[in-house]
Amino acid sequence: MKNQLKAVVLAVSLLVVGEASAVTWNLTGAVPSTGVTISGVANTGGIDTSASSANNGATQTIRDATWVGQTNMGTTASPVYYGGITNADACSSGSYCDLNEGVNPEHAIDNEQRYDMALLNFGASVVKLTSVGLSWISGDSDLTVLAFTGTGTFNVDTMLKGLTYDKLTANGWTVVANTNGTSSTYTQSFNTAGNIASSYWLIGAFNPLVASATGTNTGGFDYVKLSTVSGTVCAAGSTAGTAGCGSTNKAPEPGSLALMGVGLIGLLRLRKRR
């Protein structure tokens, strides 16, 4: 009888807390996954300005860049064309244009001249990403991964754009990993303990400008195209942070309440039979 009571209590508690689920999100191709939006950022001085002339400039601020996905490549392009980033100094004429930006191999997410990063926004969901899938590599594939774990509501205009990369960790970002990929490491794992959970993630070529970034840019410049990310969706109401899915603070959904009621009825019946 005591074991039966414990089983019912456990079932009810799982309904209240909710179980996390594993997911792989396709970021490119004709049918990208729902539930995540992707945009590009890079440190640059802007279009055809002298501030863009410093290679990998530590003083250059983070600005909008173009994520090359299905919406601007069309649905018939080969998947190898998706998953890169074109930054703002990619112009065809001018004293400070980067004429190589947007052509092979700089049509990728790379760290030649600028540090490109993809911003993944999971909206109201809190997720624990644990791996990425790459569809294309040229040269090397070292990566830097960050997650926003700060307090309050994330504001992209004050907590990312306009900052230099070394200011990210002081504005709520946590360095999750610096991977050591090769020319053939198409799947790369990180956050294997599942300690980091967030709604906002940055994934880019290895970036030593980020404070707390460890490791070295082995194998020369890194050029990659990002195709998938995998991880776990935390239960509704979970909070971002460095302790996994954090706390669940939302009230249970109506369906969960109904099931919980069934469990409680079972408890009462078991007690009545004793």
| pLDDT single digits (tens) 231-250 | 999 999 999 999 999 866 54
Is residue 177 within 8 Å of residue 190, measured between CB atoms?
A: yes
Is residue 62 within 8 Å of residue 42, measured between CB atoms?
A: yes
Identity of the residue numbered 190: F
Identity of the residue numbered 98: D
Q: What is the largest CA-CA distance in the chain?
A: 87
Residue 1's SS3 state is coil
Spans of all domains in the chain: 1-18+251-274, 21-247
Is residue 248 within 8 Å of residue 148, measured between CB atoms?
A: no
Say what the pLDDT of residue 136 is: 94
Residues 6+ apart with CB under 8 A from 227: 26, 27, 28, 29, 79, 82, 83, 133, 134, 135
Cα(7)–Cα(1) distance, integer angstroms: 10
Say what the pLDDT of residue 69 is: 78
Residue 97 CA from chain centroid, whole number: 29
Tokens representing 131 are 């791996």
**What is the tens place of the pLDDT at every residue in 126-154?**
999 999 999 999 999 999 999 999 999 99
Q: Which of residues 231 and 8 earns the better pLDDT score? A: 231
Confidence of residue 88 (pLDDT cuts 50, 70, 90): confident
Q: Which helix (H) or strand (E) holds 257?
A: helix 254-273
Cα(228)–Cα(29) distance, integer angstroms: 10
Q: Per-residue pLDDT averaged across 200-208, rounded? A: 97
**What is the tens place of the pLDDT at every residue in 160-194?**
999 999 999 999 999 999 999 999 999 999 999 99
**What is the tens place of the pLDDT at every residue in 149-159?**
999 999 999 99
Quick check: 19 pLDDT over 90? no
Residue 259's SS3 state is helix
Closest residue by Cα to residue 186 from 119, 118, 137? 137
Residues 6+ apart with CB under 8 A from 99: 92
Cα(208)–Cα(249) distance, integer angstroms: 37
Residue 21's SS3 state is strand
Q: 182 — alpha (psi -120 to 50), left (phi > 0) or beta?
A: beta
Cα(199)–Cα(189) distance, integer angstroms: 18
Residue 249 CA from chain centroid, whole number: 23
